[in-house]
């Protein structure tokens, strides 16, 4: 008993030490009197600050610019944050946030948020709705250096809210050892796949994330292959219109019929989800997989001789057009260092070397045309992903999209499982989505 | 001899506690929360009175518990209840005034066909960089230089002006250019600057080296309480309605930024009038109770049987078995749940593959419910095993011997002697387990997300518990609605409390066995 008490005391002591170490590290920089940007002030930690557990980072009050990002990108961001710090005689801190979207919103609400965050463009509607991000006014000649769709994605209600650095989308990954040339149409894909299954070289035709509750992101391209198919209609100003849900237009229903047909042939199955999607492709059970750049690393590790191609086209419609996701830098509307934050985002992120450094950590096509051109010349994967997304449209960034994921995803899962016909199920989904949006 | 030491320890502890409270109070004062500071002060005085004096001995034991109960039990309940009478949620976080300010700030657009200026932030020569009025030193693309302040734009004579290659002014006679750090410290003033121009716009800084001519397209009329957006023709007028700015001409359009306000009991009346809630509630409620009861029963029975088995003195190597059995309990619960999800997969799962079945576990109502109960049995029995083992060891051997001598067989001993004594100890734990499982959000969410969804309605899942159902209800709209979620939580709290009362009565009855 005595021994145990001692042990407990030791543990508490260590914990207390650890805590005090965390709390005591705040003034890493001399609280400089602001004497004309002395070089002394330009000392940053040089290493991104990693959080303990999944808690939100704690903002350091003595730093001139605080940036939150996820762990993957933190090193690249840190490098240029250091450069920015030295150039301007200020201190910059890069902190790793495990869930930037939620932690940023919550921390900003209580005045403890960062000045700049790195995140996806589809957070935008929610961030604007909660008054957490500030407009970022890029000059038109700088904006023209970016892919137009990437710039479009950073806008909400006609206002621009950040600077993009990468574009990502799904495409068709195929196993070159089994399929020398990628199929152009879904019929061709199914025929090739079924032949391989018959020959015993594969167990199933295609691996695509469906799951029991459906996945709207992966199901959307089947609807968008038809001209009037999709989720929301577009307003005159280019925004998606939450009052016009189009998941049950005749063209969308054609897409639903395609899902039903593929479900019937077992090409699509609700038993494939995020837990086994990659494994099916990487163990050569499926010669085709519809996925994004995030699946490449695993396929490489598994030694798969993979190729990347645009999504195939559907009979009676055109090519399947995926959603584009754009990664961007936001400036907080409650930023304590708004001037430096704007300066960093508008002057550093549009630089080619910054975009290239960020490319290295995520391998997604850069949003800056010049950077993309340089990468595409040497990296065929990036070129392939870019070309797979060339006809895509940005994922809706309006808050109403929150009402779509559940009902639309489930509708596609039910159609694939054959539980309901495409028309009746998509009609019901449209009704449900509209009702959810009306709830506000 | 020990007395002075005890006294010293007592005072050290009291002072440490008071210092802790003082520290919390200063933090609260910094946050500007006066009520909380007063409460912290009262608590501190209370502690001093209770522990520094010789009176009120019972309170000495009760105070820590009371404080923690208030902090971690009562306060959340009160807070949730008060939140449930507001519309607090995404788009309704701040006040109405803040929504107006934000909408106007976000409506600033670049005036078409105006130049971009290179900009430096400066003060008049000799001014204090922390307080003096700021001016903007501007360079047009053609190289001409200007000074802008709140009165307007004036040309800056080129003599003596030094510029960087891109045209940013670094030195100008009569002005002191601020460093990035100094200018950044004035961020608030900088964002307020708009050098007026002839066309009604203003030159505003972007960061620290660029400026553009912008114009707010939205104006607020406090007398009429209306917002007017002039970026459209004709101008669009917005009026306040349901805590949002709604377009007068087309009520389906509104600004995304609303504000927080009290809504009385509207959230509660929505719970009782919403047709999907009414139709789904009963089915979910019944399954919820069945799930909680079955979870407790199955885990308890399995845990108890194993505990009885291992309590037999003839069994060897008990400690190894015991450690192995605790493993499912020691593994992180979400990992276990996800592994089980994979095992239940119809095509690729190990359960169907080894048993040669083709059950769509997670895609049918019965299958999903069975899968949930099986997973919860795996997750929950080690806990019951631990508590039963502990309780069994405290049952005196002589009672059992007496039963054997009286001619009772093993089953009779178990039923009439061991079970009643066991239940005295584990009864309250079973109740706690029931309350926990009643709200077992994580398990459902990781395994089935409430699905499968039968019919064409994704608001009511066939394996939903009230808590997962409430979660979807509150967060499936375009914006998470915490006020509504709080109202549903209060209702669930009342339900669990009502159901627990008979349970606690029953455990009291059990205690009388002793």
Q: Which of A32, A65, A131 sits opposite B98 (nearest CB)?
A: A131
Say if residues B449 and B469 touch (Cβ distance below 8 Å).
no
Q: Which of A240-249, A260-269, B100-109, B273-282 has the lowest mean pLDDT?
A: B273-282
Write out the H or E segment, with its range, that includes residue A38. Answer: none
**How far does the CA of residue A27 sit from the closest CA of chain B (Å)?**
17
Output B55 or A208, whichever has higher pLDDT. A208
What pLDDT digit, counting tens, does each position of A136-150 carry? 999 889 999 999 999
Q: Single out the residue of B501, B192, B443 nearest to residue A338, CA to CA.
A: B192
Distance CA A103, CA A113 (A): 8
How far apart are the C-alpha atoms of A253 and A423, rounded to whole Å?
A: 6
Alpha helices in A338-379 (DSSP H): 338-347, 352-362, 369-378
CA distance B450 to B462: 6
Are A230 and A242 within 8 A, CB to CB?
Answer: no
Q: Does B254 touch chain A (CB under 8 A)?
A: no
Cβ of B180 within 8 Å of Cβ of A36? The answer is: no
| Distance of residue A211 Cα from the nearest chain B Cα, in angstroms | 10
Which of A30-39, A229-238, B456-465 has the weakest average pLDDT?
Answer: A30-39
Count helices and strands (H / E) in chain A: 17, 14
CB contact under 8 A, A333 and B458: no
User: Contact, A438 vs A290, CB < 8 A?
Assistant: no
Residue A213 and residue B451: Cβ atoms within 8 Å? yes
Mutate to test the interface with A, among B93, B95, B456 (most CBs of A within 10 A): B456
pLDDT band (50, 70, 90) for residue A27: very low
- A to B CB pairs, distance under 8 Å: 194
Q: CA-CA distance, B510 to B195, in Å (whole number)?
A: 80
- Out of B206, B348, B457, the one facing A276 most closely (by C-beta) is B348
Contact criterion met (CB below 8 Å) for A190 and A318: no
Residue to mutate among B352, B458, B473, B476, with most A CBs inside 10 A, is B458
Closest in B93, B348, B458 to A432, CB measured: B458
The H-or-E segment that residue A284 falls in is: none
Both tokens assigned to A196: 């391989």
Interchain contact, B231 vs A158, CB within 8 Å: yes
Pairwise CB contact (< 8 Å): B207 & A339? yes
Cβ B231–A276 below 8 Å, yes or no? no
Query: Which residue does chain A place closest to B342, by CA atoms?
Result: A275
Mean pLDDT of successive 10-residue segments in chain B (514 residues)?
81 91 89 86 89 83 89 90 91 90 90 89 87 90 89 87 87 89 88 85 89 90 91 88 89 88 90 78 89 95 90 81 82 88 90 88 91 94 91 86 86 86 87 89 90 78 88 73 88 84 74 54
- Indicate the burial class of A124 (C-beta count within 10 angstroms; 0-12, 13-18, 19 or more): buried
Distance CA A138, CA A165 (A): 14
pLDDT of residue A204: 94
Residue A42 has pLDDT above 70, yes or no: no
What band does A69 get if pLDDT is binned at 50, 70 and 90? very high
Q: Do A339 and B187 touch (CB under 8 A)?
A: yes
Taking the C-alpha atoms of residue A356 and residue A370, their distance in angstroms, rounded to an integer, is 10
φ, ψ for residue A124, nearest 5 deg: -55, -50
Assess B274–A contact: CB distance below 8 Å, yes or no: no
pLDDT mean across residues, chain A: 86
Q: Which of B207, B208, B345 sits opposite A271 (nearest CB)?
A: B345
8 Å CB contact of B252 and A243: yes
Smallest Cα distance from B252 to chain A, Å: 7
Cβ separation of B257 and A128 shorter than 8 Å? yes
* CB-closest option in B210, B347, B478 to A399: B478
Using a CB-CB distance cutoff of 8 angstroms, which residues of chain A are in contact with residue B475? 402
Written as six digits, the tokens of B352 are 């169907």
Q: Write the CA distances from B324 to A438, B248, B298, B447, integer angstroms.
A: 53, 68, 20, 24
DSSP B229-260: ETTSSSPEEEEEETTEEEESS-TT-B-S----
Specify the pLDDT at position A46: 65
- Given a contact cutoff of 8 angstroms between Cβ atoms, the answer to whether B195 and B136 are in contact is yes
Amino acid B413: pLDDT: 86
Q: Which of B121, B180, B456 lies nearest to residue A89, judging by beta carbons?
A: B180
Tell me the residues of chain B between 46 and 75 that have a Cβ less than 8 Å away from chain A: none
d(CA B435, nearest CA chain A) in Å: 27
ipTM given for this complex: 0.79
* Nearest chain B CA: its distance from A400 CA (Å): 4
Angstroms from A270 CA to nearest CA on chain B: 9
Per-residue pLDDT tens digits for A84-132 = 999 888 999 999 998 898 899 889 988 889 999 999 999 999 899 999 9
Q: Which of residues 74-133 of B touch A (CB under 8 A)?
A: 90-91, 93-94, 98-99, 102, 105-110, 116, 121, 129-130
Percentage with pLDDT > 70 across chain A: 88
- Minimal Cβ distance to B257: which of A129, A159, A337: A129
Whole-angstrom Cα distance, residue A288 to residue A184?
A: 13
Q: Do A432 and B456 touch (CB under 8 A)?
A: yes
């Amino acid at each position: 008993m005595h021994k145990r008490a001692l042990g407990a005391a030791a543990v508490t002591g260590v914990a207390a030490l650890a805590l005090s170490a965390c709390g005591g590290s705040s003034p890493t920089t001399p609280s400089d009197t602001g004497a004309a940007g002395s070089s002394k002030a330009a000392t940053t930690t040089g290493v991104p600050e990693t959080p303990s557990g999944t808690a939100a980072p704690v903002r350091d009050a003595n730093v001139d610019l605080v940036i939150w990002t996820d762990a993957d990108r933190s090193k690249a961001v840190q490098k240029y944050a250091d450069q920015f710090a030295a150039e301007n005689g200020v201190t910059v801190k890069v902190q790793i946030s495990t869930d930037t979207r939620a932690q940023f919103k919550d921390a900003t609400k209580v005045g403890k948020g960062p000045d700049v965050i790195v995140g996806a463009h589809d957070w935008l509607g929610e961030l604007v709705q909660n008054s957490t991000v500030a407009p970022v006014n890029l000059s038109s000649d700088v904006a023209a250096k970016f892919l137009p769709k990437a710039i479009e994605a950073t806008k909400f209600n006609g206002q621009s809210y950040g600077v993009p650095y990468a574009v990502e989308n799904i495409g068709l990954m195929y196993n070159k050892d089994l399929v020398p040339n990628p199929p152009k149409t879904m019929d061709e894909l199914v025929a090739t796949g079924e032949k391989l299954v018959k020959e015993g070289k594969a167990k199933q035709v295609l691996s695509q994330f469906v799951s029991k509750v459906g996945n709207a992101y992966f199901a959307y391209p089947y609807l968008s292959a038809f001209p009037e198919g999709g989720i929301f209609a577009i307003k005159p100003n280019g925004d998606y219109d939450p009052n016009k849900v189009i998941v049950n237009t005749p063209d969308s229903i054609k897409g639903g019929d395609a899902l039903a047909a593929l479900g019937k042939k077992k090409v699509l199955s609700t038993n494939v989800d995020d837990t086994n999607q990659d494994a099916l492709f990487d163990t050569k059970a499926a010669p085709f997989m519809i996925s994004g750049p995030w699946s490449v690393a695993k396929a490489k590790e598994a030694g798969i001789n993979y190729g990347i191609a645009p999504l195939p086209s559907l009979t009676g419609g055109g090519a399947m057009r995926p959603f584009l996701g754009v990664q961007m830098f936001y400036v907080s509307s409650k930023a304590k260092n708004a001037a430096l934050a704007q300066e960093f985002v508008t002057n550093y992120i549009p630089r080619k070397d910054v975009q290239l450094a960020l490319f290295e950590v995520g391998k997604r096509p850069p949003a800056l045309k010049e950077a993309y051109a340089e990468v595409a010349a040497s990296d065929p994967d990036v070129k392939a992903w870019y070309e797979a997304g060339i006809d895509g449209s940005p994922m809706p960034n309006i808050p109403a999209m929150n009402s779509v994921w559940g009902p639309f995803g489930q509708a596609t899962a039910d159609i694939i499982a054959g539980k309901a016909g495409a028309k009746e199920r998509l009609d019901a989904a449209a009704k449900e989505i509209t009702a959810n949006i009306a709830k506000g | 001899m020990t007395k002075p030491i005890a006294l010293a320890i007592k005072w050290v502890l009291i002072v440490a506690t008071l210092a802790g409270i003082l520290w919390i109070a200063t933090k609260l004062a910094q946050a500007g929360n006066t009520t909380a500071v007063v409460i912290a002060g009262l608590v501190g005085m209370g502690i001093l009175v209770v522990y520094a004096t010789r009176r009120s001995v019972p309170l000495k034991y009760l105070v820590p518990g009371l404080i923690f109960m208030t902090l971690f039990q009562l306060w959340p309940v009160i807070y949730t209840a008060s939140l449930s009478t507001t519309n607090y949620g995404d788009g309704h976080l701040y006040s109405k005034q803040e929504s107006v300010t934000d909408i106007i700030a976000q409506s600033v657009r670049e005036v078409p066909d105006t130049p971009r200026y290179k900009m430096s932030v400066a003060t008049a020569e000799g001014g204090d960089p922390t307080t003096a009025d700021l001016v903007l030193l501007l360079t047009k693309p053609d190289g001409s230089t200007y000074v802008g302040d709140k009165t307007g734009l004036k040309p800056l004579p080129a003599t003596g002006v030094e510029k960087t290659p891109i045209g940013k002014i670094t030195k100008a006679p009569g002005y002191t250019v601020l460093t990035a750090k100094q200018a950044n410290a004035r961020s608030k003033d900088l964002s307020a600057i708009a050098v007026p121009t002839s066309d009604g716009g203003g030159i505003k800084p972007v960061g620290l080296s660029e400026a553009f001519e912008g114009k707010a397209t939205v104006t607020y009329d406090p007398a009429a309480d209306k917002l007017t957006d002039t970026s459209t023709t004709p101008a669009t007028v917005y009026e306040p309605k349901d805590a949002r700015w709604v377009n007068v001409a087309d009520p389906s359009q509104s600004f995304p930024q609303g504000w927080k306000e009290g809504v009385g009991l509207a959230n509660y009346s929505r719970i009782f009038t919403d047709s999907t809630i009414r139709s789904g509630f009963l089915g979910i409620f019944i399954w919820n109770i069945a799930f909680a009861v079955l979870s407790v029963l199955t885990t308890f029975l399995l845990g108890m049987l194993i505990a009885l088995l291992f309590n037999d003195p003839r069994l060897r190597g008990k400690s190894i078995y015991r450690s192995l059995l605790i493993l499912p309990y020691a593994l992180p619960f979400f990992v276990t749940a996800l592994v089980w999800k994979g095992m239940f997969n119809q095509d690729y799962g190990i359960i169907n593959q080894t048993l040669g079945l083709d059950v769509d576990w997670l895609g049918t109502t019965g299958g999903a419910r069975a899968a949930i109960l099986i997973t919860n049995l795996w997750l929950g029995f080690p806990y019951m095993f631990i508590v039963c083992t502990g309780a069994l060891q405290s049952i005196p051997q002589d009672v059992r011997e007496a039963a054997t001598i009286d001619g009772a067989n093993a089953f009779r001993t178990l039923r009439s002697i061991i079970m009643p004594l066991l239940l005295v100890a584990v009864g309250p734990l079973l109740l706690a387990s029931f309350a926990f499982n009643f709200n077992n959000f994580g398990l459902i969410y990781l395994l089935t997300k409430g699905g499968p969804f039968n019919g064409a309605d994704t608001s009511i899942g066939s394996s939903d518990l009230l808590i997962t159902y409430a979660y979807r209800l509150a967060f499936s709209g375009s914006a998470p609605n915490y006020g509504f979620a709080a109202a549903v939580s209060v209702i669930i709290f009342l339900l669990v409390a009502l159901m627990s009362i008979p349970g606690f009565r029953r455990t009291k009855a059990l205690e009388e066995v002793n």
